[in-house]
Amino acid sequence: MLHDLLDEIKKMKTLLIMILWALLLVLCWPIAVLALLLWPIIWLLSIPFRVLGTVMEAFLAIVKSILFLPARLLGYKDKE
């Protein structure tokens, strides 16, 4: 159920991006073509920041688990 909802959201996001790009193409085609050409370069430049975000998320999860270890040992049960 949740997977289907996320799939639909992703499809709608893609459709919205395509419609906005087509509108930009009609209104100002040089900017639209420039955006189309620069998109892969921007995506490649963003990869290190995405990796850094993943590493920071993992690091903070480890810190959280270390900080909550005494409570877990004393019998605290998470609601999950």
Query: Residue ranges of the domains in the chain?
Result: 2-73
Look up residue 33 and give its amino acid: V
**Could you tell me how far CA 10 lies from the centroid of its own chain?**
11
Report the predicted TM-score, pTM, of the whole model to 2 decimal places: 0.59
- CA 63 → CA 19, 21, 22, 37, 57, distances in Å? 43, 42, 46, 41, 10
pLDDT digits (tens, 9 = 90+) for 2-38: 788 888 888 899 999 999 999 999 999 999 999 999 9
The pLDDT > 70 percentage for the chain reads 96
Contact 32, 24 (CB under 8 A): yes
Instruction: Please determine, for residue 80, whether its predicted confidence score (pLDDT) is greater than 70.
Output: no
